[in-house]
Every structure is written in structure tokens, then in C-alpha cells.
Copies of this chain bind each other. A is one copy, B any other.
């Protein structure tokens, strides 16, 4: 077992962190060689290809939380709600794929801040970016982007956020996080639909619209909806929460819009065994979507969907299903919004998960956040810019400092070919998990995510215990939905990390 307990390795580890953070040229510590070389290697004892000095294995020194963490949590509880704390972290000591806590516990992190760390902790390339004069200026001279963009904003967008824009979508509206990215996308959809119904961008608002909207009434406030799917998660502000259908605890007591939901196809695994049944579930789902689009009493102007329902438990559907959804929404003149907040930026083995679908035409809108470290929505149709200025606007409209960070993330991802590598590592990991699932029936149920990079999940009947126990074996891992264990490693997760993970997973299910 590759986990060290109370080991002396932690001192050496700290030393290498210090060296890295002290050195201004820490980026040089990155191995420059082709990532392809690493693919052949699979020793659990091999360190990271990308990080010099990354731990070779987890180190578990204390219970988690240990005494030092406990003390700090007690202090924090006075001013901050700590009931949702998973573990306290010392980010100055965390490195690469490993998260370190104040007690010196060093865990292989396959949860990665709820799937939002792309390139590892204290990544040298990002340190370099953070130290740049451009970043410093962006951080302290934060503009009201819609009014006073910087002279180089076009260039920052084009070399960063827009460089990785999904095919067919060459425009972006920047936002702060997943929730407001989705909500501003919804706003664009409402304005687009009403403009079309009104007869085009040149048609002026009526007096009645102008007056009624100030009272939050129609016709000024539209009586349209966004259609989402059961088990979906799209955020927790009032509009996004109205499309979120993950768990009651996310929604209770909060007023919601009367918007419709369709059943997401509930696939059975293994897929090849249930092919016919699954195809029927998908056809039923599409039929329900069509029925709701054409007959729901608050007509949908858009359908929002995750490529893989993540918070809802890693629920997949086939590319055929999504192609059907694209065809259906186009047929009825309803926008298709693909929420790539959790699936975007490489983890599925494509930069955007919807690239797996081979759609007949691009989605109308794609939203992003998390691993992008910034947020927003992409679109292509110029008509999705509202017909007048100040309709889609707010003070900050995103954050140029975070846009610079995303640009550095994109550069590093491309330089190291990390999306293709993630596809490879995912295939390796999935194969090994299939073997584990066969060896321990009932423990790795409904294994899913084949061909979707490291975006893999399975169900375990004692899921909550499973997650807790993982920490004792040196793994930080997350759950979702009622019983899923979801793997959300970073893009620098390699075969040797997979081996450590697999060893720990086996330990968990053999030591109940």
C-alpha cells in the first residue's frame, strides 16, 4: 500500500514546496518533455511527470480533522458556517495532485475543490502568471467592464477565453461563477425570444410593457420559462435554482418560478446489456421535452442541460439523445443551453464535453466556470446580443484577473497536451475500475464515464462511509446524488496517481 503513515517524507515535502514558492522561475521545475512518454509508465511509486517534488504517495498522520485542524475549525465556527466543512486545507503546502491539511495529512485529491482546480495546487506556470505585472494591474484596478474595458481586453479575450470557444460560438459574455453565468444566459434567452415574438430588434417596447414590468407583471415581465431536467443542477440563485432539481435541501423555502422539468433518461448499466431499454428511456425523455415545449402553460424559451448531470449523481445520456435534443429544440425555435460548468475544460477527454456528441449544429449557448477559474457564456448568433445596450449589464461583468488566469490555464493545458492525456488516463483508470467492479460485486455499481476521460463515477450502497473511509487511506474524494462516488481529478492526474487511487479503493471495500 502506497500510503505512508506518520512518515518522515513530510519534511522533505515541505522543503520542496519552499523551494518552489521561493523561486521566481519555479516554472522551470516543470518537466518540459512530451507527455506521451509518460503514458507507458504505470508504477505507483513514480512521481508526477509535471511536478518536480510532488509526493510519491499520500501521508496520513492523524484522524481528519486532526488536532490542529480541530482547533482552527472551532475558531472559524464563531464567524463562519463550518457545518459543511469537508477538511481544512493549508494551500501553501498543497502541491500538484495533493492537498495538505494543517496536521500534515497529505491526500491525493480527486475531488479538486468540487471539480474546479484544473492544473494542481501551486502550479508553477500559474504562480508565474500571478506574479505578472498584467495580473497585478488587473487585480487592483478592477474595471466596470461594460463601461470602461481596458485597452487590451479584446486581446485578452481572444488569446484566452475565446481561444477555446466551442465551435460555432465566437462571442462571450463574462460572469463571476456558474450560477450567474447560467442566469445571464437565461436572460439572453428570454430577451431573444421576446424580441423574435415582437417582430425583430427594431420593434420598440410598448407603453404597456414599460409600465407593467415596473410592477413585475406581464407583458413587460415575460411569462416564459426555462425547461430543465430532473436531477439537474444549474446553481443556487433564484433563476438558476428554479432550474436546479438535484435535492430538496438545495431548494426548500426559496420562492421558485413555475418552470417545467423533463425526466432525464435513467440509463441502466452496463449499457450494452440494457441497450434497448436505455434507448426507450431516451426516446421517452425526448417525447416529454417536446410535449412540455409545445404545451406547458409557461412556454419554455430554452432548454438547459448538463452533458453529464454532475451534482445529480453523474447521470449520462448518449450522444444520440443530445443530437435529438438539438434537433427538437431547433424544430420548435427553442434555444439549447449546454451547462458545461462542471464538465468543461478537459476532464471528459475533450475540452468541452459536448464535443463528444457530433451535433448537427452547435448549441446556442454554452456556459462555463469551475476549472476555467472564471465564468460566462459563449454564443454565436449575433441576435443573442440584446437589441439595446444596458439590457445585459452589471458593474463588474466578470473579472479580468481571473480571465488572465484562464488564459494561463489554457496555455499550459495546450503546452502539455493535457486534454488528450486525460482521455488516455481516463481509459486506463476505467479499465482498472471495471476489473475492481467485477472482483467486488455491489461495491462499484453502475460504473460510468467510459470514454469520458477521468469523469468517472460509480455507486456504493454505503457511499457516505465510503467517502469518509477514503480519507483514512489518503484519498480526498467526493460524492453526488443519492449514492454516487464521483471522480473529479485534475488534468495533471496520471496513471501512477490512478494506481494509488485504485489501491485505496480496493482497501476501502475490503475493510468494511
Report A's interface with B, CB cutoff 8 A: 21, 68-69, 72, 75-76, 78-92, 94, 99, 101-102, 113-114, 116-117, 121-123, 126-127, 129-131, 133, 135-144, 146-151, 153-154, 157-158, 162, 170-173, 176-180, 183, 186-187, 190-191, 193-195, 205, 209-211, 213-217, 220-225, 230, 235-240, 242, 245, 248-259, 261, 369-370, 373, 385, 388-396, 401, 405
Once the chains bind, are A248 and B213 in contact (CB under 8 Å)?
yes
Given the complex of chains A and B, what is the CA–CA distance between A194 and B373 in angstroms? Answer: 35
Q: Contacts A127-B136, A179-B394; is A148 near B238 (CB within 8 Å)?
A: no
Residues on B with C-beta less than 8 A from A183 are 237-238
Contact of A157 among B79, B143, B158 (CB under 8 A): B79
Which B residue's beta carbon lies closest to that of A242? B216
Q: Which residue of B lies closest to A342 (CB)?
A: B395
Please name all residues of chain B whose beta carbon is closer than 8 Å to the beta carbon of A257 when the two chains form the complex: 216, 238, 255, 257
Contacting pair B141 A131 (CB below 8 A): no
Contact of A252 among B146, B205, B252 (CB under 8 A): B205
Residues in B neighbouring A388, C-beta threshold 8 A:
83, 249
Q: What B residues does A154 contact at CB under 8 A?
A: 72, 75-76, 78-80
Give Cα distance in the complex from A334 to B390, angstroms. 33
Complex contacts, A390 vs chain B, CB 8 Å: 84, 249-250
**Which chain B positions have C-beta within 8 A of A146?**
81, 84-85
Contact B140 A123 (CB under 8 A): yes
B253 & A190 in contact (Cβ 8 Å cutoff): yes
> Can you spell out 10 A-B residue pairs with CB atoms less than 8 angstroms apart?
A86-B147, A102-B151, A113-B143, A139-B139, A177-B394, A179-B394, A194-B252, A216-B258, A225-B255, A236-B393
Residue in chain B with minimal CB distance to A22: B133
Contact at A84–B147, with CB atoms within 8 Å? yes
**B139 x A391 contact (CB < 8 A):** no
A142 to B236, CA, bound (A): 20
Q: Report the Cα distance A138→B475, complex, angstroms.
A: 23
In the assembled complex, which residues on chain B have CB atoms less than 8 Å from the CB atom of A123?
A: 140
CA distance A183 to B254 in the complex (A): 11
Q: Nearest Cβ distance between residue A203 and chain B, in whole angstroms?
A: 12
Please give, as numbers and ranges, the residues of chain B lying within 8 Å of A172 by CB-CB distance: 79-80
Q: How far is the CB of A195 from chain B (nearest CB, A)?
A: 8
Report yes or no: A248 in contact with B153, Cβ–Cβ below 8 A: no
Which residues of the other chain, B, contact A391 by a CB distance below 8 angstroms?
Answer: 249-250, 252
Nearest chain B residue, comparing its CB with the CB of A88: B151
Residue of B nearest to A161 (CB): B79
Partner of A190, one of B86, B149, B162, B255: B255
